[in-house]
Structure formats: C-alpha cells, structure tokens
C-alpha cells in the first residue's frame, strides 16, 4: 500500500510502475529504497522485518511491492494484482513470473469480457425500453398513458425524481402540461401559462438545456413547488420536435447532487423523439376523430332519406379520404426531402406513418364496400369472363409475395373453364383475398393449390394451403364482420376482419356460395362457386 493511505489510487500505481523494474510483460517489481520508514505504511504483514536490511540482492524485503497489471485490448490498465511477498523470502523466480503472466492474461480477458457484457446489457436494456415506447406510440391509447409509458421506460435508464411533459400552443402562446409525475404533479398539471421560463426558453431555441442549480437559474422561478424545496435540483429540458417544429418540452428533475450529463441526454433523446411522435399521432387522431364525427353527424341527418343514400356514401368518402390524402401528400413530400434534409431515423419514422395512413385509406375503401353490400346499393357490372384466366392473373400479381415466402403454388386447371357472367373487378378481388390469405397464413416454404371443376351446375374454384389453419371454435365466426381468428397474425399483416365477409357477400350477390374446411396446424381450403347462368340477386 502507498505511504499514508489505506488504498492505492491510479495515480500512485502509475507512479510506482514508472519507478519499478519490469520483469515481465505485465509484471513489475518495485524494490524498497534503503532507509524507508516502515511505520509510515499500512498493511505491512511483518512489521518486525521492516527494519531488517536486504542481506543479498535476491532477498525479498518487507517493503518490496510486486505488481501484476491487467490491460485491455488497447493496452490500457484496467486493474492490477498486488501479491503478498514470496514464502521463501526471495525475489520472484522466472517460473513464478511466467505463472503471474498467464494469470494476468486470463484476468485481463475476464475483465474486458465483463465490461463488454455490461455494455451489452445496458444496450439491450435501452433497446427493450425503446421497443416498449415504440409499441406505445403505435397503439391508439390515451396520450397521457403513452407519455406515462415513455417516462417509466426512460426512468429505468436515466433516473429522475420528477417529470413534466408540456404541449406548446404557439397560436395562443401557451404551455399546456399534459403529463407529470412526482410530489407536485397536480400543481404542474394545473399550471397552464405563457410560453416562458425554462420550458419556454427550450421551446423557442429548440435546443436541449441542462440546469445544474434550479435555485440559481431565474428561468426556474415559476415551476410549481420550487419554493418548497430546501435543496436545489438539477434539470434536463429537451424540446419535442415534430415535422412542424417544436411541439412540446420534456423536463426531468432530480437532486442537485446527481447532475444530469450529456451522456444521459444522449440516452434520453430517442425517448423525447418518441414523445414528439406521440404528440403528433394524438393530433392526427384528433383530426381523424373530428372528421369521423362530422361523417356520423351527416349520416344521422340523412339516414331517413332514402333518396340521399348515395350522397351519404359520397360524404363518407370525401370526409375521410380528403384529410388522409392531404396527410399522405405532406408525409411523402417530407420523406422526399422537400422540407429539408431527412435523416435515416426520420426516414424510418416517415415509413411507419406512411404505412399507417395507407392502411387507414385501404380500410376506408373496404368499409365503403361493406356498407354498400349491407344497404344493397352495390351495383355489379356484369360481363363475360374467363375464370381460369382471371385466377392466373391474380397469381401473377401476387408473385412477389409468393417468392418472398418461398411458397410453391400449383394451378390444377388450364384455360378450359366455362365462361361466366360476373363483375370482373369484384370477382378478381375475391380470388385475390383467398389466395392472399393462403400466402399470409402459411409458413415460409408452404404449398398452395388452386383447383376448379363443375359442381351442381356451377363453376367451383377452391384454394388449399398447408398453413396455420383455423381452430374449431372459430369456424362459425370466420365470415362475421370484424372477426379475427388469430390476433397475433392479424396484428402483423394489418387486417381488420372484413375481407371474408365482403367476399362471401359479393359471391352471394352473383348467385354463388362460399365455404371452407380447416384444421388448426394443418391448413385450410376455401371454396367459391359461380353459376354458369347468372342469377341476378337484389
């Protein structure tokens, strides 16, 4: 041990090593100088030997120190071993040094591995927290619940005592608290005021700000509860930036003794980005909700007027699709860089938003089709079609999806099927729905067969797969509107449970029928028929 200390510091070890004799790649010997006073040293094992002279050059002196240094891959010291003196009271032999060198190598690797594992664990924890917040902002939950999830996951990585989320209303010059936790949360939530103070400063500058001493910073005077604190706090304020600029501010508080660091800000930044997306999603949902409310009001006004049913459909289409088209256009332009440079992270977020908007757009179209079927206002355009050619056309259009999942698709008929009268576009969509389902719900490398024959005076087409199948308890509900047989798969491919309902109703309008057989874990076969002679249904 160093003179006058109970432990060795990095500085003292470095000084010792500079004066020591290097007797191996990692082993150093610091010989005691004559005249050293052993009473000034702690942890001397044999005080009676301290004053004894070194009789021979290879004798071990009680104040000699042997260091075995542990290094990382870059040669930096990460630890050391200070063995007790040799039992034979002699300086280390080459054999002993070799053993110490081997130990040093193993220990260095172990320490480096431990550090790598620690860093990996921290990274995994970060990604798990980000995954949770990513899932939270994609769910149509209450904004407060989403922000709570983000705050809780962030607190696991950047500990804080209190948190506040503010929405910035530039039009009314207001800072509006939307979520807070801590002993003064109720006061924070009631404190709606002008864009001022620390949050206002960060909102206007668009830059992160770390306050080391809340009492000494004049911008912190108006924060609820600050006057009650006997000990000042440190604060981290981060702007929440959306595509239209700063939309909010995130503030974290904790005791001044634990000052926030730039590294903690780097960890907190992606969570702030998620919070900004949550604010933007909430705003978009509110716009869609308002548009949907206007559609519902229009429906209530017109539901008793039979002659205005077609107008109702047009109103629905306009009210929902117009804002969706506008949103889609702005997102696509932003994604293309028309409003400034787009980072890879922003590209990823824009792609996620585009996917969701397109999903809503497709859902709107499907809902309109279903509504027309329910109200019997759907008009079918009959023409002569070749079902064989139509089925092969669908398979060709789905070739990319088939190849992506490495499926084998076999068509068991040529072009010999009879010509039928049907609505080409809608029958195309029905066949597409059946084949798409087979592709989606069959594990990669699956087998799909499409066959046809004549059954009871009707053309019979069937699609068979060896996919996941449908459990017996779901058989009676598979054609119900909005029924989802397997929530896990449906959540992944974005379906809402109206495809089979619409398909069967379309086939029934043609005078045909649709049914299926399926067994969980074995596969499914879906059937549809169309009459050789069209029977017009109303």
pLDDT at 15: 84
* Coil vs helix vs strand at 110: helix
Judge contact between 179 and 250, C-beta under 8 A.
no
User: Sign of the CA dihedral 192, 198, 201, 202?
Assistant: negative
Q: Could you tell me the two tokens for 49?
A: 């030997």
Which fold would CATH assign to domain 382-531? Heat Shock Protein 90 (3.30.565)
How far is 274 from 348, CA to CA, in rounded Å? 12
pLDDT, one tens digit per residue, over 252-290 is 998 888 888 888 888 888 888 888 888 888 777 777 777
Q: What is the pTM of this model?
A: 0.40
End-to-end CA distance of the chain: 98
| Cβ neighbours of residue 15 closer than 8 Å, sequence gap 6 or more | none
Q: Which fold has domain 139-277?
A: Beta-Lactamase (3.30.450)
Please, which pLDDT band fits residue 38 given cuts at 50, 70 and 90? low
**Torsional class of 352: left (φ above 0), alpha (ψ -120 to 50), beta (otherwise):** alpha
- Mean pLDDT score of the chain, rounded to an integer? 80
Q: CA 252, CA 233: separation in Å to the nearest integer?
A: 10
Q: pLDDT tens digits for 68-89?
A: 998 887 788 888 888 877 777 8
Per-residue confidence band for 6, with pLDDT thresholds at 50, 70 and 90: very low
Of the given ranges (21-35, 227-241, 285-299), which has the lowest mean pLDDT?
285-299
Evaluate if residue 304 carries a pLDDT over 90.
no
The stretch 128-156 carries a mean pLDDT of 72
Q: Residues 398-439: pLDDT tens digits? A: 999 999 999 999 999 887 788 899 999 999 999 999 999 999
Average pLDDT of span 216-242? 74
Q: Helices 262-302 and 309-335 meet at what angle, rounded to 10? A: 160
DSSP annotation of 233 reads: E
Of the pLDDT bands very low, low, confident and very high (cuts 50, 70, 90), residue 1 is very low
The stretch 223-234 carries a mean pLDDT of 63
Strands 65-71 and 209-211: unpaired
Say what the pLDDT of residue 415 is: 79
Burial (CB count within 10 angstroms: exposed 0-12, middle 13-18, buried 19+), residue 441: buried
By CB atoms closer than 10 A (0-12, 13-18, 19+), residue 338 is exposed
Tell me what pLDDT residue 538 has: 47
Instruction: Decide: 24 and 97 in contact? Cβ < 8 Å.
Output: yes
């Amino acid at each position: 041990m160093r003179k006058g200390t109970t432990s060795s510091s990095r500085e003292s070890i470095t000084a010792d090593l500079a004066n020591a004799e290097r007797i191996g790649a990692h082993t150093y010997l610091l010989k005691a100088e004559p005249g050293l006073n052993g009473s000034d040293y702690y942890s001397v094992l044999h005080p009676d030997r301290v004053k004894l002279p070194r009789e021979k050059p290879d004798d071990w002196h009680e104040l000699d120190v042997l260091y075995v240094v542990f290094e990382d891959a870059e040669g930096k010291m990460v630890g050391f071993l200070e063995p007790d003196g040799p039992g034979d009271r002699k300086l280390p032999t080459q054999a002993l040094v070799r053993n110490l060198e081997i130990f040093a190598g193993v220990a260095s690797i172990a320490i480096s591995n431990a550090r790598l594992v620690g860093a990996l664990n921290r990274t995994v924890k970060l990604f798990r927290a980000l995954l949770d917040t990513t899932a939270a902002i994609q769910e149509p939950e209450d904004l407060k619940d989403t922000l709570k999830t983000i705050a809780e996951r962030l607190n696991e990585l950047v500990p804080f005592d209190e948190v506040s989320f503010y929405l910035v209303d530039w039009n009314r010059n207001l800072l509006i608290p939307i979520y807070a936790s801590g002993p003064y949360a109720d006061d924070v939530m009631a404190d709606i005021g002008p864009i001022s103070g620390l949050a206002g400063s960060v909102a206007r500058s668009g830059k992160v700000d770390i306050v080391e001493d809340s009492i000494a910073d004049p911008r912190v005077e108006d924060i609820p509860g600050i006057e009650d604190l006997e000990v000042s706090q440190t604060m981290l304020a981060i702007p929440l930036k959306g595509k239209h600029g700063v939309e909010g501010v995130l503030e974290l508080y904790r005791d001044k003794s634990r000052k926030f660091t730039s590294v903690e800000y780097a960890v907190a930044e992606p969570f702030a980005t998620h919070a900004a997306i949550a604010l933007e999603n909430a705003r978009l949902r509110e716009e869609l909700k308002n548009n949907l409310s206007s559609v519902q009001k229009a429906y209530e006004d017109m539901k008793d007027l039979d002659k205005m049913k077609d107008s109702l459909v047009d109103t629905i289409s306009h009210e929902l699709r117009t804002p969706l088209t506008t949103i889609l256009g702005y997102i696509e332009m932003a994604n293309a860089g028309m409003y400034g440079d787009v980072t890879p992270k922003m590209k990823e977020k824009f792609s996620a938003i585009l996917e969701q908007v397109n999903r809503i757009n497709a859902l709107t179209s499907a809902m309109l089709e279903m509504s027309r079927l329910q109200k019997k206002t759907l008009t079918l355009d009959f023409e002569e079609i070749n079902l064989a050619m139509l089925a092969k056309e669908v398979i060709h259009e789905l070739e990319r999806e088939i190849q992506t999942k490495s499926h084998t698709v076999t068509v068991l008929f040529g072009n010999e099927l009879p010509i039928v009268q049907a609505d080409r576009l809608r029958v195309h969509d029905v066949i597409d729905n059946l084949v798409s389902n087979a592709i989606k719900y069959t594990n990669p490398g699956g087998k799909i067969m499409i066959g046809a024959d004549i059954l009871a005076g009707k053309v019979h087409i069937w699609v068979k797969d060896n996919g996941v199948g449908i459990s017996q308890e779901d058989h009676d509900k598979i054609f119900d509107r909005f029924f989802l047989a397997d929530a896990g798969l449906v959540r992944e491919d974005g379906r809402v449970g109206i495809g089979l309902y619409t398909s069967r109703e379309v086939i029934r309008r043609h005078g045909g029928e649709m049914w299926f057989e399926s067994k969980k874990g074995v596969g499914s076969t879906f059937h549809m028929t169309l009459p050789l002679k069209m029977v017009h249904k109303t």
